[in-house]
Amino acid sequence: MGEYRPEAYWSRVAQEIDKRESRCVAGDDNPYYRYKRLRFLRKFLDTIDFQSQVVLEVGIGPGGNLQHIATHHRPRKLLGADVSQKMLAIASSNLSPHHAVALTKIDGIALPYPDQSVDTSFTVTVLQHNTDEHMCSSLVHELCRVTKTTIVTIEDIGTNRALGGRGDWIGRRVDVYRSIFEADGFRLHSVEFLNTKVSRTWHRVVFGFYKRAIARQHREGDPMLKAFQYLIGLPMPITRILDDLFVDKRDLAKMVFHRK
């Protein structure tokens, strides 16, 4: 994995999240990501059947997804796992009003749950950060082992054919995910893309300039100058409309796998 060490990486991000007024979302916080988050909840998370289910999220970060599910979907039990103890501490605070929630620290390879003890499991931008081939394949194997019926993995899609890679992120193709899950007994049932192409393109232009000219040492989770946040958000009333007009088979995709 080179210099990328998942626990240290996400613990540092957790320190930045802990400084925010809202501590429910991991990673960067600006108008584009807040819009993307709401679109993700509406189009992806809220279309999964969690009611009366035992639900596992691997890579819970600060617990925002489980908090949303607990509030809106009436699961029977929620399980959350993460490599970062600091993330789990924030998630525990966010989820404290909710009952039937159990959080566990993991090593990113093994899951401490019995075989097929979970009805539905899911990941959100977690497997893409497993750039080590062994870690990724091991985690997928464990997801398949503990899940009875359905696995939903929501990841950024790219053009990479490889299972592993260098750095802290790898944009794998859908067929790569299909093959590793099928090897462990789960067949790809459906694929849906979030479609944020226009808004994402504008964000990349502004954010790219920001990192090159203003904040060359910017790391994931670091705060962003308000002037640039304003610039990112300025055209979004229009870009949101345009996003719905373009089919974008890149960026965030929801892949649903069912046990064979």
Residue 109: C-alpha distances to residues 101, 112, 115, 152 (Å):
22, 10, 15, 18
* Cβ 158 vs Cβ 173: under 8 Å: yes
Q: Tell me: the pLDDT tens digits for 180-210?
A: 999 999 999 999 999 999 999 999 999 999 9
If you search the block for the tokens 């194997």, which residue do you land on?
Answer: 141
Q: Is residue 1 part of a domain?
A: no
Q: Are residues 234 and 151 in the same domain?
A: no
Q: Whole-angstrom Cα distance, residue 46 to residue 39? A: 10
* Cβ 219 vs Cβ 17: under 8 Å: no
Q: Are residues 147 and 186 in the same domain?
A: yes
Q: Whole-angstrom Cα distance, residue 21 to residue 62? A: 13
- The mean per-residue pLDDT over the stretch 6-35 comes to 89
Q: Which domain holds residue 218?
A: 197-243
Burial class (CB in 10 A: 0-12, 13-18, 19+), 167: exposed
pLDDT at 3 over 90: no
pLDDT at 52 over 50: yes
pLDDT of the residue at 247: 84
Residue 65 pLDDT grade (very low, low, confident, very high; cuts 50, 70, 90): very high
Q: 257 in helix, strand or coil?
A: strand
Q: Are residues 54 and 79 in the same domain?
A: yes
Q: Are residues 190 and 202 in the same domain?
A: no
pLDDT at 176 over 50: yes
Tokens of 240: 């949101």
Q: Is residue 205 part of a domain?
A: yes
Sign of the C-alpha dihedral computed for residues 23, 28, 33 and 36 taken in this order:
negative
Tokens of 63: 């617990």
pLDDT at 5 over 60: yes
Q: Are residues 135 and 24 in the same domain?
A: yes
> Could you write out the three-class secondary structure of 196-239?
CHHHHHHHHHHHHHHHHHCCCCCCCCCCCCHHHHHHHHCCHHHH
Q: Is residue 119 part of a domain?
A: yes
Q: Are residues 133 and 202 in the same domain?
A: no
pLDDT at 1 over 50: no
Q: Is residue 178 part of a domain?
A: yes
Q: Are residues 129 and 236 in the same domain?
A: no
Q: Tell me: the pLDDT tens digits for 145-163?
A: 999 999 999 999 999 999 9
Say what percent of the chain tops pLDDT 70.
Answer: 99
Residue 83 pLDDT grade (very low, low, confident, very high; cuts 50, 70, 90): very high
Q: Are residues 202 and 255 in the same domain?
A: no
Angle at 11 between CA 7 and CA 12, to 5 degrees: 120
Total tally of structural domains belonging to the chain: 2
Q: Are residues 67 and 125 in the same domain?
A: yes
Q: Are residues 63 and 139 in the same domain?
A: yes
* Cβ 165 vs Cβ 148: under 8 Å: no
